[in-house]
Amino acid sequence: MGATKLTLTVKEESLPFVKKYAKRQHTSVSKLVQRLFDDIAENEKNQPDPLLEKYQDVEIPQWIKDLTYKRLFVDSDVLFGYATEKGAVLFSYPVITNEM
């Protein structure tokens, strides 16, 4: 696991107390901050996504589940003849329908 340098701004009057605390704990200020960050990260990992929580019990209506893409088919000879006369490019496009 790699480490990244981080510059922090703290209240000047707090720093001596934090350094004393770190010394009593036989650690460094950096390791104290790392433990704090690790605790925050672990807590955040265990938090459910509020948006998913809000909608997890919502029932999706069947008509939405049944929506499918369907291609429009036109008599290709008629379409091709008309399109080439007009210099158009032929393509098909999806149409949303609830027919299966």
pLDDT tens digits in sequence order for the chain, 100 residues long? 688 899 999 999 999 999 999 999 999 999 999 999 999 999 888 888 888 888 888 888 887 777 654 444 445 555 555 555 555 555 555 555 555 5
Decide if 51 contacts 40 (C-beta within 8 A): no
pTM here is 0.48
Nearest alpha-carbon partner for 73 in 96, 100, 94 = 94
